[in-house]
Structure 1
Amino acid sequence: MNFHQLHIFYTVSEQGSFSAAAQRLHMTQPAVTMQVQALEDYFGAKLFDRSSKKIVLSEAGQVLLPYARRSIQLIREADQAMSAFTHMLEGRLQLGASLTIGEYVLPRLLGPFGKAYPNISIMMKVMNTSQIIEEIHKHQLNFGLIEAPVSHPAMVFEPVMGDELKLIVPWEHPLADKEEVTLAEALQYPFVLREQGSGTRRVMEEQMLDKGLDPGAMRVVMELGSTGAVKSAVEAGLGITIISASSVKHEVTLGLLKIVNISDASFKRQFYAIHLKSTLLPISAVTFLTFLREHTDEW
């Protein structure tokens, strides 16, 4: 059990639905459901009655609710008491970030964070998930930010912010004139994709399988090891792709690429913070992760 789970449980009870709670918390609905289920597994009791359209607290949930409310209030009081101190925090954060996060998400947030906490310096390494885990395990990084959870007995994973993959096409592509298309329509064209095993590729393929479509049936003309390389290939007209919408804001503004909505599929995902179970994060790291959660809409 952790505070994050209690906060999610409390928000679901206040909002009356998992979807409304997910919107309030800037999380996906499956992520909210997963955290509530983890809390139910911990206590060995169902916390909500899901038999009706509007979920209601079970007897066990009613017992837990005042404790969750008190814990949230205590955290708020602690945050207020520490606010003056945290703005004077000093230190150096060493973190690892996977490609999409490190290249396109964090750069937009590091500036505002630096203004809010000018005495915290950040050293960021952009690398793949396995490299991040290895360096955290060797105590060379405080924590990492990755695009998909992985199973590791020594690590803790916590959702930090949400992201969504979109269909990206060249500006003069036949699909560029459409506001939205079906996934089947998009699959008629050649694709340029991230390499197998990347978080982006994994999310895309899992969604296709959920829709009963075989990822292996895609006409993949090129696989590349970075989002930047994929964007360049799409700009050159070599194919279309499905990547994070946050990674193409600049190209869309310049009229080089266009985002096309897929009407019958949603490629939403969570970004996760990862750190050692055996090591408490420094206050500066907790402050940074809190900052990311609070500013998730700004990137």
Structure 2
Amino acid sequence: MAFNFHQLHIFYTVAERGSFSAAAQALHMTQPAVTMQVQSLEEHFGTRLFNRTTKRIQLSEAGHALMPFARRGIDLMRETDAAMSRFTDDLAGRLLLGASNTIGEYVLPRLLVPLGQRYPEMKVVLKIMNTTQILDEISRNQLDFGLIEAPVEHPDMTITPVMQDELKLIVPTQHTLAVQEQVTLEDVLEHSFVLREKGSGTRQVMEEELIRHHVDLSRIRTVMELGSTGAVKSAVEAGLGITVLSPSSVKHEVALGLLKVLTIEGMSFPRQFYSIQLKSTLLRMPATAFLQFLQEHSLD
């Protein structure tokens, strides 16, 4: 009897999770059903794919040889789903999505309207949380996938670039720098900054670009560090300092004439947004359609 992709997917999940019980939980199957499918695959190939002991399982030599083919098969299925999602109407149901602060509060809300126009049957449930929380909920199958602002390394996760953003200098409209559209780095460093907390993706991008231009970070006069983009915007509006943020996060304030977006001469602060999901999980059609939609749309 020929083996099928379902069996290959189960084998891969067992190998990734390190046990039949963990794979059964991830796949929403019973443990005996997972064991039976792996045994069927072993019978097909005529060799053991796992070395089993009372405490743990390990890939056999044959199992190690099969893993890259299983990985390629799963990737191909994901690519196929993404390519075919635009031709199907079967997108009903809830899409459970986690997103970090900037993406969840300022990027996705503007894209949900055109998304709903293209896929009116898709229902998006969005949770805004930090990257650690997103990873935890994906691991426990509480989210289909997540959107984060900086790459992470996790043995159970696949991370994929989906959208690009570029940070800009943000100043109050009454600030002395606001009379210009482009300012020099030396002029900028003469002023006080209000920044996101250390470790945030936004601050990391800014500091990496300054270091690339040989700027000693101690030259930055930081008068306040805040834990959210909204708090930073409010402080800048109040005239407490200037900052570097995504223009997507200040569109409303710019439209009201409260803040102005400037470019620093000779500098750019590009950053990449990423999707993250379990390696062992095949995304449902709504999720693949959603990700393809994001890749087609610019933040501009």
What residue number does 2:18 align with? none
Letter in 2 for 1:236: A
What residue number does 1:259 align with? 261
What residue number does 1:179 align with? 181
Distance 1:184 1:280 in 2: 50
Alignment equivalent of 1:293, drawn from 255, 280, 295: 295
What residue number does 2:62 align with? none
Distance 1:127 1:78 in 2: 26
Contact 1:136 1:275 in 2 (8 A): yes
CA drift at 1:155: 1.0
What residue number does 1:190 align with? 192
Letter in 2 for 1:261: T
Alignment equivalent of 2:96, drawn from 65, 69, 94: 94
Contact 2:191 2:242 in 1 (8 A): yes
Alignment of 1:3-18 (within 5 A): none
Query: Which structure is larger by alpha-carbon Rg, 1 or 2?
Result: 2
Alignment of 1:44-193 (within 5 A): 79=83, 83-85=86-88, 87-193=89-195
Q: Structure 2 stretches of 5 or more lacking a match?
A: 1-78
Distance 1:128 1:187 in 2: 30
CA drift at 1:88: 3.7
CA drift at 1:247: 0.7
How far does the alpha carbon of each residue in 1:75-106 deviate from its partner, in whole angstroms, 9 at most, with x for none? 79994x65442x34112111110000000000
Matched residue of 1:296: which SS? coil
Matched residue of 2:94: which SS? strand
* Structure 1 range deviating more: 159-168 or 213-222: 213-222
What residue number does 1:224 align with? 226
Distance 1:162 1:147 in 2: 10
1:131 to 1:78, Cα distance in 2 relative to 1, 3 A: closer
Distance 1:78 1:140 in 2: 22
How far does the alpha carbon of each residue in 1:36-84 deviate from its partner, in whole angstroms, 9 at most, with x for none? xxxxxxxxxxxxxxxxxxxxxxxxxxxxxxxxxxxxxxx79994x6544
Matched residue of 1:255: which SS? coil
What residue number does 1:244 align with? 246
What residue number does 2:203 align with? 201
Distance 1:187 1:157 in 2: 35
Q: Structure 1 stretches of 5 or more lacking a match?
A: 1-74
1:270 to 1:178, Cα distance in 2 relative to 1, 3 A: same
What residue number does 2:33 align with? none
Contact 1:88 1:117 in 2 (8 A): no
Distance 1:271 1:78 in 2: 18
* Structure 1 range deviating more: 88-97 or 197-206: 88-97
Letter in 2 for 1:124: L
Letter in 2 for 1:262: I
What residue number does 2:41 align with? none
How far does the alpha carbon of each residue in 1:202-252 deviate from its partner, in whole angstroms, 9 at most, with x for none? 101111111111223211111111111100000000000000011111111
Matched residue of 1:193: which SS? strand
Distance 1:194 1:78 in 2: 35
What residue number does 1:27 align with? none
Contact 1:171 1:255 in 2 (8 A): yes
How far does the alpha carbon of each residue in 1:84-129 deviate from its partner, in whole angstroms, 9 at most, with x for none? 42x3411211111000000000000011111211111111110111
What residue number does 1:234 align with? 236
What residue number does 1:22 align with? none
Matched residue of 1:166: which SS? strand
Matched residue of 2:282: which SS? coil
**Superposition TM-score, scaled by structure 1 size:** 0.71
Letter in 2 for 1:93: L
Matched residue of 1:101: which SS? helix
Identity percentage of aligned residues? 61
Letter in 2 for 1:196: K
Q: Aligned pairs, how many?
A: 223
Contact 2:85 2:288 in 1 (8 A): no
1:76 to 1:130, Cα distance in 2 relative to 1, 3 A: closer
